[in-house]
A and B are shown apart, each in its own frame.
Chain A
């Protein structure tokens, strides 16, 4: 019984808290630009509004156009439930669940790309192609980061994986995972989440023709994914398991908040990269994840 309560509680926390993260990011961006900015709860209002609207479906689209966002949303929520929080473990855990986490994220991306292709628009197909081709490079990085954790802790289960890394490795891995967070969640150096009229946009192209509840699911799923990556980054770097539960939850929440602020600062202070230079930054992110792997592999050099 308590396990079910645990799952429900976590589910509720993920679903309710996740839309705060983009709100915080937008507030930081507004603050840096000396603007008032949208309220922190703006995404909640948007989701409520979208949920009440109807859906416009292209005549070319199969039911997959509506199913794909739902599957993607469920996959991201499932991945979030797999992630242990603040050293308290997770109710759904088994050996090798980290692979399931990676595959669920990949499934979510596949479904977003699928939904984009369903519209039959060449523009959306182009966006899907861009998204997938960059995702390949980002995924190499995240798999390397996970390998680092596996080698460090000697375990392939997420709940016992977050053993504290030694200083330099943790610092390198934090930078690498932050770059991957920006790429995976389509934040500024890779993609601008606020523009809808650029030829260089990647992720926004794919959701251009979605409306109503499917769009709400895509937006909510994106915020959960952002929070998932922030929590993953925080737990990789900070030795949360050694703290008492309440303190570790507080530290985790603070770390996620700080990550959101950092994303907001990066978005305000850097310009989007030229399109052909995105692979270079992703390669750099991969290298930042590769060197901690070598450091842990070789011990003390």
Chain B
């Protein structure tokens, strides 16, 4: 395994929209101020041409690589980003930001509504994939970047990359989309729906006003996370990790936590409580449910006029967004004669594979980006 090689990094905050220039959202609502949490790694070159933007997945954050001071866990994509790694910070200036509606430094439903002085809660406007992109673009302007050499993301991150490429293709050279979808299936939506219901039916939810009423839908949020986590791993991965082994040496039948896998899910659910906001979970999962960019027959017009090079990658045991989801994206892009490459990577680990150091996957990203770096020169 690779070690964190970027050293100590720090999350920064930028205000990218304010009252005089609010964020105009797809729904028609406006939002101000909008703050964005972000990190950068590597150096922007004199031509400002070597920037790469990282879009994170559902519960990710701006801390993609390196270490925070006093912490021993590196950023969520440290195996991918760093000196000599596939997204090589000796070559690229990497920007990773936290998503709009998130809860880790970027404005979201738990932020204070300047109109009321209280958290927005469910008065926060509903979000669209395009709103995420507008905020990423706002950050790019703030950093003086007119065009990214590449925009990269997995899962919900990949969906942001796709949206961005469709609406503002002139702002990127390449688009790298991993384990993502252009349209959720009924099963995908069903899983999201149950997660949201677990949160909203928790007695601590209080119509979303739990922050001001001193309660929290912790049980619901942890159940949502436990269930989602099942979809992130493959059956094979669960079997390999836990099998049917007992948590405490031997099974002693009861309704508590007896199997090791139950203990693992409990741990995942609990850990999530300390780092994620139930409202963000509702808002962000809902964006994915409604995302369906190719439903618009003119979706590809801008992209065809200003082509982007695509790399689409899926993983063969991913059942959250199975390979068919990626193939669908590829059919649309390749069918529009856009320069498109696609690989299905073998991995035992299911959807979460895009976060792991899998040789063929990393070599694929490396080969594609090495070429992009050459084209830059």
Bind each other: no
